[in-house]
Amino acid sequence: MAHADTLVLDYLGALWAETEDLAPELRDELMSTVADYIAARRVAGEDDPEVILGRLGPPAAIAACVRRGRMPAHLRLPAPPGPARPADPGAAGPLEYTAIALLTGGAVVLPVVAPLAGMLLASGSPRWSPVQKTAAWVLAGAPGLFGFLLFAGWVLFGGEGAGGVLLLAFFAMVGGPFVAGLSLLAGLSRRAALPAR
């Protein structure tokens, strides 16, 4: 066993002995808190256990403080910061709302071009997760492709029965991007509703 581990175990053993008169739940909580404190400092890169234990103070002082009905203040302080979390992309801006507008309203005016532009804008935004973006591509692309193929087939194979085929192709090319835009809008609403971290 390393010397550092021996020092920590000796300290915890001394603290255990000093707190034998405490209620079992309180004693367990104190031991857990002190062990967590030491472990967090060691993980944060403080390799010298003598420094860590010196900051804790003597086991008798900690035990006396707990007997007076409070946990020592330095044990209640937050642990050192862990790995950095990814930055919050912030509030939705013009890029996100333009993408949604192109997918919903733009799809009616320019059925293929506007949804493609909207999805390219959405793909560049940090506001949506990769899963949300992939789902939007599928929702916008599959019906749009079906509508385009239906229209192309109508043109290639004679162009008869124009009303029903063209209407179905138009609804497919507009409906898919519209649903994709609504799903991205719902994703923005859910993220806005999450509490700040």
How many helices (H) and strands (E) the chain has is answered by 9, 0
What was the pLDDT predicted at 46?
Answer: 66
Contact 184, 132 (CB under 8 A): yes
Both tokens of 124, joined, read 């560049």
**Under-50 pLDDT residues of the chain:** 79-88, 193-197
Of the chain, the end-to-end C-alpha distance in Å amounts to 40
Q: Which CA distances in Å does 78 have to 42, 74, 168?
A: 15, 9, 61
DSSP 195: P
Rounded-to-integer distance, Cα 40 and Cα 146, Å: 56
What was the pLDDT predicted at 76?
Answer: 60
Both tokens of 190, joined, read 């859910």
What was the pLDDT predicted at 48?
Answer: 78
Q: Is the model's pTM score more than 0.75? A: no
What was the pLDDT predicted at 90?
Answer: 56
What was the pLDDT predicted at 17?
Answer: 92
What was the pLDDT predicted at 122?
Answer: 86
What was the pLDDT predicted at 89?
Answer: 53
Per-domain residue ranges for the chain? Answer: 3-76, 94-193
